[in-house]
Amino acid sequence: MIKYVDNFTKQKLDSIRKDLNKKYRYNLFEHVMELLRISKNTYGILLTRGKGDIINLNRMEDERLTKLGKEKTGIFLPPNNLDAYIEIDINLKYVDFQTQQLSVNIINIIFHELFEAYMMLDAEMQYQEAHDYVGIQELALMNQISHLSEYIAFGKVTRDKRYS
């Protein structure tokens, strides 16, 4: 189930879906949105403008912390009424880490973060496994929508300093 944190988020995601569906009748972005909609888990989604961060939290055990003998607490958990919380600043501009020239479309970032949350919660994958799987799906999305992005969110990305 999707819980939009505010009206702007719902409107923006609906607009992205409408634009993509107009040109690409059925695409992986729409598939992910449908998976989230029918999930037994509750996904809180917030798209911000100017907050400057990407946050992806869930209630699943995280082997990155377990290996350190730690448990998820406080800032690593979503709000109480949610199983996952994804927050993305849509004003951010991202580029590939190596050359810092290849742009990453915000739609790629949104797709990657939402699908990664789904794979961790509903498919019960650990972070790295979910991240890698979603990266492969992101390549498929880019094959469907070739003009979407020059680089994938799955790769190592950084903020574009030209827009900071």
Q: Which two tokens stand for residue 71?
A: 């448990």
pLDDT band at 150 (very low <50, low <70, confident <90, very high): confident
Q: CA 95 to CA 151: how far, in whole Å?
A: 7
pLDDT, tens only, 70-126:
777 788 899 999 999 999 999 888 887 777 888 888 898 999 999 999 999 999 999
pTM: 0.89
pLDDT tens digits, one per residue of 14-68? 999 999 988 887 899 999 999 999 999 999 999 999 877 789 999 888 887 777 8
Annotate 108-153 with DSSP letters as a single string: HHHHHHHHHHHHHHTS---HHHHHHHHHHHHHHHHHHSTTS-SS-T
Identify the domain containing residue 98 by its residue range. Answer: 2-163
Pairing relationship of beta strands 43-48 and 2-4 according to DSSP bridges = parallel
pLDDT of 38: 97
Residues in the chain: 164
Total domain count, the chain: 1
